[in-house]
């Protein structure tokens, strides 16, 4: 009898225990129901904006190109109209292109632009053998926050933040809206900048711009900083707040008269002021590539006859020896993985896609106190050995360039040169033109 | 005592029942997510791919289905329509014609995935297509298709050699081919070096291969014979044999005989009839309506 009693008490206790373990529901609905609700919410919110959404989009995982503005209008039939500020092969700035989108469950709520849109996928398609990931932009985004006032997402592969805010103009204003950014961006383009906090220049060795980033150099490479931004109708917005000398700012207005960007954030007082350099300093410190026109038959760009002849001869040489042609020639910072220093580069290709680069390293030296003279000092072939096959062909061209140094530089635009004419100081008949 | 036991028992049952009551099944379905809207092309695909061949033709790039190591762009919608029609005409219906629709239905991959861009490897080579375990064929570079100026040689180079190539992989992965094939060029397979600067196409021909890629491995060699043969006209195929010269030609012919025999005995397919069907249809692609 006692045993029976014990059994029943145990049974009752076990059941009590079962009740105690019954967990309170933290959420009002199941995970699947909440996911469906979130999917529907994003779909409905995207479609609900009557004039579409203004998007702040950052390609490249390290945001090394900065940000670009888009306008997106989502439709209920699964199509989306996209216009961007960057002109592509077939579309001008602000021209809308239609493609498809989908909101699906994948790592959370995912927005995917899943058929090709030339304007949008410009940033997310490969660009040939030397740039296999192109501008490394995302075309799928994971939702973080969704309200009618703003939608925040992160790129699925690169993780960059994408911010959407409702656009308040109608469709007829898209083009004007998107065109203003490039125009403004060009207005504050300068070779270098001075960053000032409370009117005092901050201790940054050099501030330059590349695409939509400011590059802060501090003397040691590991201290250098990339400050990505996106252009706004009145100035710029940094990807994340910047702190210099204890002051923090994210939003800047451009003051055209003073040639500076002025921080808007309360109490910040940071300015980024445009500064100008003599032409030889611009070239000697270049981080860009200055090209000979690479149209066929080579060379198409403006240059003196002896150099043109040397290039033609070199081309004939490699055509005969390697069955290849010169694809392009540039002087400046090397693009090859094997050498990124200052150099003269000849890219040669058999099919116009895959190419090998013959790299000849040079030092670009300012001729002191001239302001416009640069000496090109040849220091030898560089790279992974591709030059060996081409050495015979290009040596005469290299010899000409080095023998005629130093050069006097001229440009149509002294503040922001996009083209440079090199004229030999010793032989004024020897010249060539390079363009960015 | 008995009463107490009874009470205790009844009470414990009640508690048990009450604890069960708390876990009601929700009346809401978890499968009520609205499906994406179907457009005219989706409906066309249902009638022309899903129902007759049980193929999921994915033209909207679903990143999880694609190769995550490459940066890829989706296919243009209008190119996907054209591609769907061309693949049906130049590939599926060819196998229907020569091998019967049951054969096609049984062995075609269950997924065809279109990618707009190519997948470019750092060594400069391009991924044109892949097949995974007989289940999926992925075609790249669909955005390069010029609908207004169709060129069968370009179509073959970019897409149809790839499709026949990948389908041949599915076939030999299902029923293997004779090991005699390996003996013909056993020392000339060079793996990834097939694309090296010194390994030219003319060298490949002279060694008894129909393409540079065929030198990668014996399986690639086997499927390249089929793909090159059916997508080449008689003149083009003879030109390859001529370029192969005294050393290469006999090897290619030996390999071809093994492929021909394999298709006949394993699949009851006549490779010459297959080639003729492909070529007849290739000549007529100008008449196709590649729009919806």
Q: Residues A387-410: pLDDT tens digits?
A: 677 888 899 999 999 999 999 999
Range from A127-136, A404-413, B14-23, B233-242 carrying the lowest mean pLDDT: B14-23
By the CB < 8 Å criterion, does B72 face chain A? yes
A266 is a domain residue: yes
What is the tens place of the pLDDT at every residue in A292-309?
876 666 667 789 999 999
Contact indicator for A206, A221 with CB cutoff of 8 Å = no
Most confident by average pLDDT, A318-322, B65-69, B151-155, B254-258: B254-258
> Domains in chain B: how many in total?
1
Range from A139-153, A189-203, A313-327 carrying the lowest mean pLDDT: A313-327
Please report how many Cα atoms fall inside a 13 Å half-sphere around the Cα of residue A99, on the Cβ side: 28
By the CB < 8 Å criterion, does A225 face chain B? no
B28 is a domain residue: no
Query: Which residue, B211, B99, B224, is CA-closest to B172?
Result: B224
What is the tens place of the pLDDT at every residue in B33-77?
667 778 999 999 999 999 999 999 999 987 666 666 788 899 999
Contact indicator for B53, B108 with CB cutoff of 8 Å = yes
DSSP, collapsed to helix, strand or coil, labels residue A224 as coil
Same domain, residue pair A287 and A428: yes
Residue A263 is predicted with a pLDDT of 97
Same domain, residue pair A298 and A408: yes
Decide if pLDDT at A2 tops 90.
no
Over range B179-199, report the average pLDDT: 89
For A217: left if phi > 0, alpha if psi spans -120 to 50, otherwise beta; the answer is beta
User: What percentage of chain A has pLDDT greater than the value 90?
Assistant: 63
A415 band by pLDDT with thresholds 50, 70 and 90: confident
Best residue in B31, B41, B64, B71 to probe A by mutation, most A CBs within 10 Å? Answer: B71
A178 is a domain residue: no
* Domain encompassing residue A297: 282-435
Decide if pLDDT at A379 tops 70.
yes
Chain B contacts in chain A segment 416-435 (CB below 8 A): none
Chain B contacts in chain A segment 14-73 (CB below 8 A): 15-16, 18-19, 22, 29-30, 32-33, 35-36, 39-40, 43
> What CATH number did the domain enclosing A36 receive?
2.40.128.370
The pairs formed by A196-201 with CB atoms below 8 angstroms and a separation of 24 or more are: A196/A270, A196/A271, A196/A272, A196/A273, A197/A244, A197/A245, A197/A246, A197/A247, A197/A269, A197/A270, A198/A245, A198/A247, A198/A269, A199/A269, A200/A245
Contact criterion met (CB < 8 Å) for B15 and A19: yes
Residue A166 is predicted with a pLDDT of 97
**Burial of B233 (C-beta count, 10 Å sphere; 0-12/13-18/19+):** middle
Q: Which of A276, A310, A339 is the last residue of a domain?
A: A276
Same domain, residue pair A294 and A150: no
Can you tell me the distance from the alpha carbon of A348 to that of A341, in angstroms, rounded to the nearest whole number?
19
Contact indicator for A118, B110 with CB cutoff of 8 Å = no
Range from A14-23, A59-68, A284-293, B173-182 carrying the lowest mean pLDDT: A14-23
Taking the alpha carbons of B11, B12, B13, B16 in that order, is the dihedral positive or negative? positive
B86 band by pLDDT with thresholds 50, 70 and 90: very high
- Picking from A4, A78, A132, the nearest residue to B71 by CB comes out as A132
DSSP, collapsed to helix, strand or coil, labels residue B12 as helix
Strands A325-333 and A289-292: antiparallel
Can you tell me the distance from the alpha carbon of A13 to that of B206, in angstroms, rounded to the nearest whole number?
86
Over range A222-238, report the average pLDDT: 95
> What CATH number did the domain enclosing B195 receive?
3.40.390.70
* Terminal CA-CA length for chain B: 85
The whole-angstrom distance between A128's CA and the closest CA on chain B is: 7
Contact indicator for A275, A266 with CB cutoff of 8 Å = no
By the CB < 8 Å criterion, does A105 face chain B? yes
Same domain, residue pair A152 and A224: no
Q: Which of A257, A276, A295 is the last residue of a domain?
A: A276
Same domain, residue pair A290 and A430: yes
B203 is a domain residue: yes
> Domains in chain A: how many in total?
3
The C-alpha torsion from A394 through A397 and A398 to A401, rounded to 10°, is -170
Can you tell me the distance from the alpha carbon of A136 to that of A423, in angstroms, rounded to the nearest whole number?
39
Residue B9 is predicted with a pLDDT of 66
Same domain, residue pair A308 and A411: yes
By the CB < 8 Å criterion, does B7 face chain A? no
Strands A289-292 and A109-112: unpaired
- Of residues A316 and A384, more confidence is placed in A316
Please report how many Cα atoms fall inside a 13 Å half-sphere around the Cα of residue A344, on the Cβ side: 23
By the CB < 8 Å criterion, does B69 face chain A? no
B158 is a domain residue: yes
B281 is a domain residue: yes
Residue A272 is predicted with a pLDDT of 97
B88 is a domain residue: yes
Residue B7 is predicted with a pLDDT of 73
Omega of the bond leading into A406 within 30 degrees of 0 (cis): yes
Q: What is the DSSP letter of B47?
A: I
* Domain encompassing residue B114: 40-287
Q: Which of A244, A276, A308 is the last residue of a domain?
A: A276
What is the tens place of the pLDDT at every residue in A259-292?
999 999 999 999 999 998 889 988 888 888 999 8
Contact criterion met (CB < 8 Å) for A11 and B26: no
Can you tell me the distance from the alpha carbon of A86 to that of A122, in angstroms, rounded to the nearest whole number?
9
**Alpha-carbon distances, residue A326 vs A46, A242, A345 (angstroms):** 49, 44, 10
- Of residues A124 and B13, more confidence is placed in A124
Question: What six digits make up the tokens of B203?
Answer: 């060298």
Same domain, residue pair A324 and A257: no
Over range A194-222, report the average pLDDT: 91
Contact criterion met (CB < 8 Å) for A115 and B118: no
Can you tell me the distance from the alpha carbon of A20 to that of A17, in angstroms, rounded to the nearest whole number?
5
What is the tens place of the pLDDT at every residue in A119-144?
999 998 887 766 778 888 999 999 99
Question: What six digits make up the tokens of B99?
Answer: 């091998």
Question: What six digits make up the tokens of B47?
Answer: 């009638």
User: What percentage of chain B has pLDDT greater than the value 70?
Assistant: 85
Measured between CA atoms, the residue of chain B closest to residue A31 is B30
Same domain, residue pair A96 and A240: no
Query: Which residue, A364, A393, A363, A366, is CA-closest to A380?
Result: A363
A183 is a domain residue: no
**Number of helices (H) and strands (E), helices first, in chain B?**
13, 6
Residue B16 is predicted with a pLDDT of 57
Decide if pLDDT at A20 tops 60.
no
The residue assigned the tokens 């081409």 is: A390
B92 is a domain residue: yes
- Of residues A240 and A210, more confidence is placed in A240
What is the tens place of the pLDDT at every residue in A346-371?
988 887 777 888 899 999 998 988 88
Contact criterion met (CB < 8 Å) for A125 and B117: yes
Chain B contacts in chain A segment 337-376 (CB below 8 A): 353-354, 356
B131 is a domain residue: yes
Same domain, residue pair A253 and A289: no
B33 is a domain residue: no
ipTM of the complex: 0.80
Same domain, residue pair A294 and A264: no
Same domain, residue pair A162 and A46: yes
Burial per residue of B256-291, b for 16 or more beta-carbon CB atoms within 10 angstroms, e otherwise: bebbbebbeeebebebeebbbbbbebbeebeeeebe
By the CB < 8 Å criterion, does A111 face chain B? no
Same domain, residue pair A346 and A207: no
Burial per residue of B30-51, b for 16 or more beta-carbon CB atoms within 10 angstroms, e otherwise: eeebeebeeeebeeebeebbee
Sort out which chain B residues have CB atoms less than 8 A from A11's CB and list them. 12
Contact criterion met (CB < 8 Å) for B59 and A353: no
Chain B contacts in chain A segment 141-160 (CB below 8 A): 156-157
Can you tell me the distance from the alpha carbon of A95 to that of A87, in angstroms, rounded to the nearest whole number?
9
Can you tell me the distance from the alpha carbon of A318 to that of A326, in angstroms, rounded to the nearest whole number?
8
Contact indicator for A341, A382 with CB cutoff of 8 Å = yes
Residue A264 is predicted with a pLDDT of 97
């Amino acid at each position: 009898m006692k045993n029976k009693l014990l059994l029943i008490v145990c049974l009752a206790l076990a059941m009590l225990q079962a009740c105690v373990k019954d967990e309170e529901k933290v959420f009002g609905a199941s995970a699947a129901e909440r996911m469906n609700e979130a999917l529907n919410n994003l779909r409905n919110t995207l479609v609900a904006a009557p004039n579409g959404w203004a998007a702040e989009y950052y390609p490249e995982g390290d945001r090394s190109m900065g940000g670009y503005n888009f306008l997106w209008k989502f439709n209920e039939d699964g199509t989306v109209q996209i216009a961007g500020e960057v002109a592509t092969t077939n579309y001008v700035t602000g021209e809308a292109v239609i493609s498809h989108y989908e909101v699906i469950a994948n790592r959370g709520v995912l927005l995917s632009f899943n058929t090709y849109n030339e304007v949008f996928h410009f940033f997310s398609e490969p660009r040939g053998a030397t740039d296999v990931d192109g501008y490394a932009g995302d075309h799928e985004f994971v939702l973080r926050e969704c309200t009618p006032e703003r939608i925040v997402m992160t790129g699925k592969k690169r993780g960059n933040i994408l911010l959407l805010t409702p656009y308040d103009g109608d469709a007829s204003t898209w083009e004007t809206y998107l065109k203003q950014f490039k125009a403004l961006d060009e207005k504050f383009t300068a070779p270098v900048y001075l960053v000032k906090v409370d009117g005092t220049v901050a201790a940054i060795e050099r501030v330059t711009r590349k695409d939509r980033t400011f590059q802060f150099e501090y003397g040691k490479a590991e201290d250098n900083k990339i400050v990505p931004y996106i252009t706004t109708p009145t100035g710029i917005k940094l990807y994340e707040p910047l702190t210099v000398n204890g002051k923090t700012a994210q939003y800047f207005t451009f003051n055209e008269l003073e040639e500076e960007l002025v921080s808007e954030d309360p109490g910040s007082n940071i300015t980024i002021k445009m500064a100008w350099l003599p032409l030889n300093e611009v070239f000697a410190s270049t981080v860009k590539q200055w090209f000979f026109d690479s149209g066929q038959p080579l060379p198409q760009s403006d240059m003196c006859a002896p150099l043109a002849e040397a290039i033609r001869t070199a081309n004939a040489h490699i055509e005969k020896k390697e069955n290849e042609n010169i694809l392009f020639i540039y002087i400046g910072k090397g693009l090859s993985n094997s050498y990124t220093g200052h150099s003269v580069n000849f890219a040669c290709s058999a099919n116009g896609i895959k190419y090998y680069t013959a790299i000849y390293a040079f030092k670009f030296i300012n001729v002191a106190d001239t302001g416009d003279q640069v000496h090109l000092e040849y220091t030898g072939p560089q790279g992974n050995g591709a030059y060996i096959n081409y050495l015979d062909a290009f040596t005469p061209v290299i010899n000409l360039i080095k023998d005629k140094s130093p050069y006097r530089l001229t440009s149509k635009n002294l503040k922001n040169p996009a083209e440079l004419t090199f004229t030999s100081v010793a032989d004024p008949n020897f010249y060539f033109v390079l363009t960015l | 005592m008995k009463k107490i036991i009874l009470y205790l028992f009844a009470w414990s049952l009640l508690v048990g029942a009450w604890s069960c009551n708390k876990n009601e099944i929700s009346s809401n379905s978890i499968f009520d997510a609205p499906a994406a809207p179907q457009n005219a092309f989706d409906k066309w695909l249902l009638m022309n791919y899903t129902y007759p061949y049980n193929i999921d033709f994915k033209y909207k790039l679903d990143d999880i289905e694609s190769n995550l190591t490459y940066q890829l762009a989706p296919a243009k919608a209008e190119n996907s329509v054209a591609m769907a029609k061309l693949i049906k005409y130049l590939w599926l219906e060819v196998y229907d014609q020569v091998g019967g629709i049951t054969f096609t239905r049984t062995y075609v991959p269950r997924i065809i995935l279109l990618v707009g861009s190519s997948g470019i490897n750092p060594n400069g080579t391009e991924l044109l297509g892949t097949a995974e375990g007989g289940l999926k064929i992925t075609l790249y570079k669909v955005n390069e298709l010029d609908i207004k100026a169709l060129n069968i040689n370009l179509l073959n180079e970019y897409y149809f050699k790839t499709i026949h190539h990948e389908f041949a992989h599915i076939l030999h992965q299902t029923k293997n081919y004779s090991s005699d094939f390996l003996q013909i060029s056993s020392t000339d397979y060079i793996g990834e070096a097939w694309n090296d600067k010194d390994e030219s196409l003319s060298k490949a021909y002279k060694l008894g291969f129909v393409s540079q890629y065929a030198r990668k491995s014996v399986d690639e060699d086997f499927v390249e014979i089929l793909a090159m043969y059916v997508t080449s006209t008689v003149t083009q195929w003879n030109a390859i044999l001529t370029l192969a010269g005294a050393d290469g030609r006999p090897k290619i012919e030996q390999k071809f005989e093994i492929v021909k025999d394999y298709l006949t005995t394993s699949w009851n397919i006549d490779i010459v009839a297959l080639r003729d069907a492909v070529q007849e249809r290739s000549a007529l692609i100008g008449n196709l309506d590649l729009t919806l």
